[in-house]
């Protein structure tokens, strides 16, 4: 355990050294023009942001995400290779709102880069908070709010690359139409579920924006971050509620270990109530090609299809 801690500390120290090395150059102008065939190199944190920027940037951008499928951004720790990629990027895009909690210090050292913190583009009155007052970062579960995030990114990229501004705006408008249709799809699938059965039981509280927008209740084992583990008391308390209310299903999340959900399932059954695992939901990352959910639109459709099937 001690060796792992020492290795982790050395990795972070090396990363910080690379950051300072990369930041030793003089600040460049925030407005840049590109040649017609020169692609803008953009590095993002999450898979959701990577997909969004690929739709906005189109052929003008080359996007690389630091986090892959099934990676939990709450717990993700950057490597020295990640820092190298950040230093070489033309633009860095990250979510903010404390989603990438282990990367805060690194982003603060990259002030000379073109950086887009997406959370800054979301109206304060649209942000949800937990009981302790912490902002919920899972804004992508509200399809319309995710469209707002796309608009902010489009505007910021247009400021950085004025010669591409109109192209970015045109790409965004086309993608926004797809998001509008996606929103309608989620509403239609939700309407197929009886109101009293629209209860979403998950490993951690990632679906509050989804619930707020589309009329669900969320019951989660953990809070909005997975940095703290659920206790036996947390699981027992939730099991009591699920058995009392005769809730039909609970859901696994792709980026969270299954053990807490399995423990909850066992706890509910021990109280004499039969409950099923309704399937796996993609929460803090997009899905995969095997389930046709490797895009944001594919992931949202996969999730709502899974939810509606389990709760009808």
Specify the length of the chain in residues: 312
Q: Which residues contact 55 (CB under 8 A, 6 or more apart)?
A: 150, 171, 172, 175
Span 19-43, pLDDT tens digits: 444 444 434 445 666 655 789 999 9
The pLDDT of residue 127 is above 80: yes
Q: For the residues 181-202, what does the mean pLDDT come to?
A: 95
Beta strands 217-222 and 249-253: pairing type? unpaired
Q: Which pLDDT value is given to residue 267?
A: 92
pTM for this prediction: 0.85
The mean pLDDT value of the chain amounts to: 87
Look at the block and give the residue holding tokens 């490993």: 203
How many whole angstroms separate alpha carbon 18 and alpha carbon 249? Answer: 47
Span 138-154, pLDDT tens digits: 999 999 999 999 999 99
Percentage of the chain exceeding pLDDT 70: 86
Domains and CATH numbers, the chain: 36-185 (3.40.50.1980), 193-311 (3.40.50.1980)
The pLDDT of residue 205 is above 70: yes
Span 58-105, pLDDT tens digits: 999 999 999 998 888 988 999 999 999 999 999 999 999 999 988 988
Look at the block and give the residue holding tokens 């005769």: 246
Span 224-252, pLDDT tens digits: 655 566 788 888 988 999 999 999 899 98
């Amino acid at each position: 355990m001690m060796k792992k801690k020492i290795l982790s500390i050395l990795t972070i120290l090396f990363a910080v050294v690379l950051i300072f090395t990369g930041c030793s150059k003089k600040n460049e102008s925030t407005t840049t023009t590109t040649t017609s065939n020169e692609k803008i190199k953009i590095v993002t944190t999450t898979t959701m942001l990577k997909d969004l920027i690929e739709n906005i940037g189109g052929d003008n951008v080359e996007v690389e995400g630091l986090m892959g499928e099934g990676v939990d951004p709450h717990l993700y720790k950057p490597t020295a290779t990640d820092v190298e990629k950040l230093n070489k990027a033309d633009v860095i895009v990250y979510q903010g709102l404390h989603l990438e909690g282990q990367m805060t210090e690194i982003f603060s050292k990259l002030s000379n880069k073109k950086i887009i913190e997406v959370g800054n583009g979301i109206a304060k009155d649209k942000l949800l908070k937990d009981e302790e007052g912490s902002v919920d970062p899972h804004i992508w579960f509200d399809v319309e709010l995710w469209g707002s995030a796309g608009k902010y990114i489009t505007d910021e990229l247009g400021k950085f690359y004025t010669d591409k501004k109109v192209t970015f705006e045109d790409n965004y408008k086309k993608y926004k139409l797809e998001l509008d249709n996606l929103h309608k799809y989620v509403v239609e699938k939700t309407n197929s579920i009886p109101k009293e059965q629209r209860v979403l039981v998950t490993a951690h509280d990632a679906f509050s924006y989804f619930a707020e927008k589309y009329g669900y209740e969320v019951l989660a084992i953990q809070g909005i971050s997975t940095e703290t583990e659920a206790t036996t008391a947390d699981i027992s308390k939730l099991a009591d509620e699920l058995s009392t209310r005769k809730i039909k299903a609970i859901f696994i999340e792709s980026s969270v270990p299954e053990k807490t959900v399995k423990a909850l399932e066992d706890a509910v059954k021990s109280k004499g109530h039969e409950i099923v695992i309704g399937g796996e939901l993609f929460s803090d990352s997009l899905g995969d090609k095997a389930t046709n959910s490797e895009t944001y639109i594919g992931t949202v459709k996969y999730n709502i299809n899974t939810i509606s099937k389990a709760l009808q």
